[in-house]
Structure 1
Amino acid sequence: MKLTHTLLLASLITGISGGVMAADYRQNPFTLAYDGAVSKNVPGEVNIHPVRYQLHGLTIAANVYTPAHYDPAKKYPTLVVAHPNGGVKEQVAGLYAQRLAELGYITITADAAYQGASGGLPRNVDKPAHRIEDIHGMADFISQYAGVDTARLGLLGICGGGGYSLVAAETDKRFKSVATVSMFNSGRVRRNGYADSLLGTIQTRLQQATAARAQEAAGGAILYAGDANLSDEQIAKLPFDLYRQGYEYYWKSHAHPNSTFKYTMSSLLDLMSFDVTDHLDLLNQPLLMIAGSKADSLYMTQDAFAKATGTQEKELFLIDGATHIETYWVPQYVDQAIQQLTQFYGKHL
């Protein structure tokens, strides 16, 4: 099954057409799926260190990036980077982690528990409590890493990882500042539908999730949501840019065999009663939220930004012309995001 999935992704990458260039994980020894990725550790340059650690009995797979001329005897500002829903550390989270390491930060990005190369069964459980604990766990691990200045620890979350980062930072004051890129409120979308388009089916979907959990508990097959293998024609007819461009990014241009859209149907019992904005008044650290001006997910960033009333320093930056997925890889948009992050962390770490 795993081999079949890998071959499918490889064929998709090989057959890609159009304006998006492929970042082929097969050509990178660390299976990094973004342009300009580290391909070998060279003394005096940014290096990548694959690591594993334990979190509540599960093995977590992570990558630590160290800056050029890294000296473990010195102290460096450090960033925890949380990946998008369905993503893995080798995609956009790795890109941002590497770019920030190039600017002098130690960075860490880890696969969520039950996802990617991290442990946990059944596979692809996607519960908010787990994703939030993943972020606390990255902070636990990196705080013990040589050269890390725990007094200058920051947090960056991308897409779904952005929403979970906001919640993690509400209570975890080790994070001295928090930033998001294309923040996605996972609970709101799983409950209401994207752009609140499924309000009329909430109870039906809760019944489906309840039945899925009951089936799991009885030893039956694990049911999954979001596991669609769509044709190009079907993708083109999807109603939102995020979904159309998301398929292009995750299944073609930046595909990785550990990345998948699917999650256990029973996860919806937790997701649908969760909302990123429920206690945002607890967030008192400096906050930067970045989103594309043309992103159809922008409403989620704007909503969270308005409800983050506990911080005295917050900024919303819109990348002109960018959609949600384009902030993941389009060089000019990533450059703008990195510039804003550099200024923000430079001031608040």
Structure 2
Amino acid sequence: MNGIHAQENGKTFKVSDKVTVENVRYDNRFGITVAADMYLPKGLDTTKKYPAIVIGTPYGGVKEQGAGIYAMVLAERGFVTLAFDESYNGESGGEPRHVSSPDIFVEDFSASVDFIGTRPFVDRERIGAIGLCGAGGFAVTAAQVDKRIKAVATASMYDISRADHYGWKDSMTKDEYDAMLERLGEQRWKDFEKGEPEYLPSFPPDATTAVPEELDAISAEFWEYYAMERGHHPRARGGFTTTSHLSFINFPLMEYIETIAPRPLLFIIGEEAHSRYFSEDAYERAAEPKELYVVPGARHIDLYDRTEMIPFDKLESFFTEYLK
């Protein structure tokens, strides 16, 4: 299952003529097949060894969106890159569909290192990772135990386990928490009796032309990206099976973030991002070397696809320095 397949699926961005893209498959340690796009600098000399970067998608996104943009631009700059779909989502394997698992999503980063590090043109001592949105937490957590990841950058990071366990900005009360667990427990019985888990997609199958007026500010921002022409992709419907929350509630991400040192961490946040507190708090907990990089005027979703705002020069210099 660790081979290369023809690329047949469209992306939300135009692929540069400075790179080549190969659609690949490989298995993680749970036996789930991970689908990814490997971006190579055009004219890559396969007799030489290059630094590589594995890139995880925004939470609920697919490799044909923001992760692919990061992979493409960094491949233009000389890196071998791999943008992958998390297990149970996108083109990756796993049943039932749209399950979310912190353990397996963290493993998908290490499985991606397995694959990229065994390419003959990759220097396995020079592999880094980038996590966008929720994948930021997964990338950091993977690096805690996977020392093959030599440097980690995140952009618009979300700590999904913190949000699920404590609520938005840690605002959930004890009564609300208990009621949530009661609801999720009841849902498990419903899922068992039905024979499949409840999945309520956040976004429609086809792109829309406007943001629904009833949405709160954060939901409206995600709608703008995922549900409109800007970033819409039919495999990125948003949301996960309802009972997936239980795994995150019981699995704190980045619990040992300080142990990543002396390998470096770079947290990139938008100045106007609603999610910036996740990165700011993770930065405080992390050990040196670390850096918090603020993009002026950027919102959370702007670091998914706004190439004029994403600090690619910073990412290039960061990985060039630490993947020597």
Q: TM-score, with normalisation over the residues of structure 1? A: 0.84
Question: Would the alpha carbon gap of residues 71 and 271 (structure 1) be closer, same or farther in structure 2, given more than 3 Å must change?
Answer: same
2:213 and 2:143 map into 1 onto residues whose CA distance is 37
Deviations 1:307-332 (A, max 9, x none): 113xx211100001100001112232
Match of 1:211 in 2: 186
Q: Conserved in 2, the CA contact under 8 Å of 1:292 and 1:298?
A: yes
Determine whether 1:89 maps to 2:63. yes
1:276 and 1:181 map into 2 onto residues whose CA distance is 16
1:130 counterpart (82, 86, 104): 104
Deviations 1:49-71 (A, max 9, x none): 00112223222211100012212
Match of 1:296 in 2: 274
Determine whether 1:286 maps to 2:264. yes
Q: Conserved in 1, the CA contact under 8 Å of 2:204 and 2:237?
A: no
1:236 and 1:307 map into 2 onto residues whose CA distance is 38
Determine whether 1:47 maps to 2:20. yes
1:79 and 1:61 map into 2 onto residues whose CA distance is 16
Unaligned 5+ runs, structure 1: 1-27
Determine whether 1:31 maps to 2:10. yes
Match of 2:4 in 1: none
Match of 1:9 in 2: none
Per the alignment, in what secondary structure is the counterpart of residue 121 of structure 1?
A: coil
Determine whether 1:186 maps to 2:164. no
1:319 and 1:286 map into 2 onto residues whose CA distance is 19
Per the alignment, in what secondary structure is the counterpart of residue 157 of structure 1?
A: strand
Match of 2:177 in 1: 202
1:257 and 1:146 map into 2 onto residues whose CA distance is 34
Per the alignment, in what secondary structure is the counterpart of residue 279 of structure 2?
A: helix
Match of 2:317 in 1: 343
Give the percent of matched residue pairs that are identical in Structure 1 and Structure 2: 34
Q: CA deviation at 1:29?
A: 5.4
Q: Conserved in 2, the CA contact under 8 Å of 1:170 and 1:282?
A: yes
Match of 1:306 in 2: 284
RMSD (CA atoms):
2.1
Name which of structure 1's ranges 290-299 and 255-264 shifts more when overlaid on structure 2: 255-264
Per the alignment, in what secondary structure is the counterpart of residue 63 of structure 1?
A: strand
Determine whether 1:264 maps to 2:203. no
Q: Conserved in 1, the CA contact under 8 Å of 2:267 and 2:283?
A: yes
Name which of structure 1's ranges 185-194 and 86-95 shifts more when overlaid on structure 2: 185-194
2:23 and 2:264 map into 1 onto residues whose CA distance is 30
Per the alignment, in what secondary structure is the counterpart of residue 308 of structure 2?
A: helix
Q: Conserved in 2, the CA contact under 8 Å of 1:46 and 1:102?
A: yes
1:205 and 1:340 map into 2 onto residues whose CA distance is 41
Between structures 1 and 2, the one with greater helix share: 1
2:238 and 2:12 map into 1 onto residues whose CA distance is 16
Determine whether 1:329 maps to 2:305. yes
Q: Conserved in 2, the CA contact under 8 Å of 1:188 and 1:274?
A: no
Q: CA deviation at 1:218?
A: 4.3
Q: Conserved in 1, the CA contact under 8 Å of 2:68 and 2:83?
A: yes
Per the alignment, in what secondary structure is the counterpart of residue 263 of structure 1?
A: coil
Q: CA deviation at 1:190?
A: 1.9
Q: CA deviation at 1:77?
A: 0.5
Q: Conserved in 1, the CA contact under 8 Å of 2:203 and 2:223?
A: no
Determine whether 1:276 maps to 2:253. yes
Q: CA deviation at 1:240?
A: 3.1
Deviations 1:61-94 (A, max 9, x none): 1110001221211100000101111100000000
Question: Would the alpha carbon gap of residues 81 and 234 (structure 1) be closer, same or farther in structure 2, given more than 3 Å must change?
Answer: closer
Unaligned 5+ runs, structure 2: 1-6
Q: CA deviation at 1:233?
A: 7.8
1:232 and 1:272 map into 2 onto residues whose CA distance is 35
Name which of structure 1's ranges 268-277 and 189-198 shifts more when overlaid on structure 2: 189-198
Name segments (4+ residues, structure 1) moved above 6 Å: 230-234
Q: Conserved in 2, the CA contact under 8 Å of 1:277 and 1:307?
A: no
Letter aligned with residue 296 of structure 1: H
Q: TM-score, with normalisation over the residues of structure 2? A: 0.90
Q: CA deviation at 1:224?
A: 2.5
Q: Conserved in 2, the CA contact under 8 Å of 1:209 and 1:267?
A: no
Match of 1:156 in 2: 130
Letter aligned with residue 317 of structure 1: Y
Letter aligned with residue 315 of structure 1: E
Name which of structure 1's ranges 275-284 and 71-80 shifts more when overlaid on structure 2: 275-284
Deviations 1:174-203 (A, max 9, x none): 011111011100111122333334445222
Q: Conserved in 2, the CA contact under 8 Å of 1:240 and 1:296?
A: no
Matched positions, count: 311
Match of 1:12 in 2: none
Deviations 1:132-180 (A, max 9, x none): 0111110111111130111110111110011110100011000111110
Determine whether 1:246 maps to 2:225. no
